[in-house]
Amino acid sequence: MPSSMIRRGIWAIGAAVIVVALVVAALPLIASTRIVRDRIAWEMSAWSGFRVAIDGSPRIEVWPTFRAILTDVTLSQWTDTEAPPVVEAERVEVDLSAMAALRGDVAFSTARLVRPTIRVQRTPAGLFLPAVPTGGRITRSIDTARGLVNADPAKPDLDKLPTDTFGTVEFRDGRMVASIGGKDVEILSSLNGQANWAAMNSNATLSATGIWRGESVALDVASAKPLVLFAGGTAPLTLSFKAAPATFSFDGTASMSENTYFDGQAKFSAPSLRRVLEWSQAGIAPGAAIGSVSISSKITATGGRVKFDNTAIALDNNPGMGALDLSLGEAQPVISGTLAFDTLDLRSFLSAFTPLVPTGGAGPGEIDTSFADKINLDLRLSAAHATAGPIQLADVAATAQVKDGLSVFDISDASAFGGNIQTSLRFDRKPEGSQVEIRLLASDIDGGAFGTAAGMTRLVPVGTGTVSVILKGPGRTWDSIFDNADGSVSATFGPGALSKLNLPAFLKHTEQGGFFALDDVSDGTLPIDGAEIKATISKGVARIDKAEANSAKYKIWLSGIASYAGRGLALSGGVIQPDQAATQANGQQGPNQSSFFVGGTWSTPFISPISRGVSGE
């Protein structure tokens, strides 16, 4: 009895194996006769909403998975037969259901597009997107969801969403092209990734990598309610974009309705803002290579306006906090807000937000004020500590404004050099060329510290004083600003000293006659009771109207011209004793005056005595 049962079991197992083998062997024959090319094309068209054409004959594979391999597949718009296909794929691999095939039906959960070419169009917002299908199951599902959203925008009935199963779409070695000037231009290459959407009422994810403008990029998008999102409702959305020049992420809720809406946490970082501007081809000239930029903020975007709250920003590792507002409704984007820093490099700040610092562009020191035609800016900032090159500042209050061709950076208040400074830098684009205005008022400052920061070490009054500088003129390059500027310079100083001047040695040289270098008598310091300087600047040449320093025994004066372009000096001067000051003021040369001529350049001035009258003893 047992042996009989064993024999029957063996026969049953053998029969099952034979049946399975016959079914597997018959699948390609069944598929090739019943799952025909047109049936697969119809099913793909029913989902996508595009007209699907398959030029090659399908090839059926059974192992390791049952799938159909299609060649020369195109997806085109139904309404425009003359337009090129929206999608062209050299090969499409479709994973099929074996049981559905035996029933003469087509059911697949995964489609792989190999070397697809996707044609995209530039939208008014500047994005490149493929054409939207006019029908299909996905489009009808979105329409159904839109009706539910319109019925109750705040809380649509998700139970009534379509439940059709979808699956996975993979793409390998693809590219995106756009028609520009009648020619296909490649926008994205080496496109790889997949979209997972199990059912119309389930969550969906998209992961893709590619090469854009020479850089590898990676994009990840996910939503728990994708159908609601596509229908214009509010749904969760996470997005991550990664590339070597920059990274961006968003985590929050969004709506893709006519009034696009975003609300969530956003982060942006880049190792160099200059590289980002060059790579993005934004049409804005990059400033100096300023190092890293990062922003983390709670954002709310709607109706062409983006609000950045609790914004943490870092420029070249200088962290700050504040709030920003971006408006896209006008001719140019408008950025406004306030930022507060503990420490701030002003050059980095200006490089990031304005064109007011030299760039590394086509010409040395060339100023590209076209920035002012592409964006409007109104920022208020403060910093407990700041630097501007070698200059150290504290308690800074400043503004940066760009609007209608005018670029302005103002420091309304700051502590520096032991006193207080106010400064303004303005560029105004006009039909005849850019006009530049520079203003500086430094009050109660240490003249020695101010002179060192300005690169002046000779004959600088070391003491408390006030300096005023006003310069105006055309400015195509930074050098040309000072070469062609008009304005004035004035300074007054109280008791202190005149640096790098050994007056006894100076007077001894004038007594001996013959010219000598100022460096030969720079090994001393002259105590003074005060000093005053007034100069008028015309076309980059300073005419010194008054330059006097008074000490207990002597009065030193200078007059003449100094050129910025050639750095040349042509000055006359004198050293007189106080009892001869009235005589000198009346234009007469007193007997106790040593007069001289100053020539050479700023860096290497020389002295040529004219008359000897004051002894250095």
Q: Tokens at residue 482, please?
A: 């000072």
pLDDT in the model for residue 123: 76
Q: Which of 326, 341, 422, 425 is nearest to 381 (CA)?
A: 341
579 phi and psi angles, rounded to 5 deg: -70, -5
What's the chain's length in residues? 617
* Nearest CA-CA partner of 488 in 465, 470, 467, 475: 470
Residue matched to tokens 């090739």: 32
The DSSP line for 24-72 is: HHHHHHHHHHHS-HHHHHHHHHHHH-SEEEE-SPPEEE-SSS-EEEEEE
What is the block-wise mean pLDDT of the chain (617 residues), using blocks of 10 residues?
Answer: 50 44 46 57 86 83 77 89 89 76 66 93 77 87 93 90 91 92 88 94 96 95 94 94 96 88 94 81 57 90 89 88 86 88 83 53 50 78 90 92 84 94 87 83 92 80 93 76 86 92 89 87 91 92 92 91 85 81 50 83 88 61
CB 249 within 8 A of CB 235: no
Q: What pLDDT does 24 receive?
A: 45
pTM of the model: 0.75
pLDDT of 15 reads 43
**Rounded-to-integer distance, Cα 456 and Cα 499, Å:** 10
Return the SS3 of 447: helix
Site of tokens 């929206």: 86
Tokens read off for 370: 């076209």
Per-residue pLDDT at 18: 42
Which helix (H) or strand (E) element contains residue 23? helix 2-34
pLDDT value at position 339? 93
CA distances from 100 to 27, 31, 97, 570 (A): 11, 10, 5, 100
What is the structure's pLDDT at 20? 43
The residues spanned by each domain of the chain are: 491-611
pLDDT at residue 1, as a whole number: 46
End-to-end CA distance of the chain: 142
Do the beta carbons of residue 83 and residue 76 sit within 8 Å? Answer: yes
Q: Which residues sit opposite 544 in a β-bridge? A: 535, 560
Q: Residue 317: its pLDDT value, please? A: 81
CB of 391 closer than 8 Å to CB of 444:
no
Query: Strand, coil or helix: what is 264?
Result: strand
Nearest-angstrom CA–CA distance, 596 and 331 = 62
pLDDT in tens, 483-524: 788 999 999 999 999 888 899 999 888 888 888 999 999 898
List the one residue out of 274, 254, 272 whose CA is nearest residue 263: 254
Q: How far apart (Å, rounded) are the C-alpha atoms in residues 8 and 221?
A: 57
pLDDT at 272: 84
The position carrying tokens 């140019």 is: 332
Q: Is 428 exposed, middle or buried (0-12, 13-18, 19+ CB in 10 A)?
A: middle
> How far is Cα 213 from Cα 253, in angstroms, rounded to an integer?
30
Q: Three-class SS of residue 131?
A: coil
Burial class (CB in 10 A: 0-12, 13-18, 19+), 286: buried
How high is the pLDDT of residue 99? 61
pLDDT of residue 423: 93
Residues 331-349 pLDDT 10s: 778 889 999 999 988 877 7
Token pair, residue 424, equals 């303004």
Give the Cα separation of 602 and 457 in Å (integer): 11
Using the 8-state DSSP alphabet, how is residue 133 labeled?
A: P
Report the amino acid identity of residue 80: D
> What pLDDT, on a 0 to 100 scale, did the predictor assign at position 614?
57
Q: 421: part of which helix (H) or strand (E)?
A: strand 419-430
Per-residue b/e over 4-20, b at no fewer than 16 CB within 10 Å?
Answer: eeeeeeeeeeeeeeeee
For the beta carbon of residue 388, count every other beta carbon within 10 angstroms.
Answer: 21
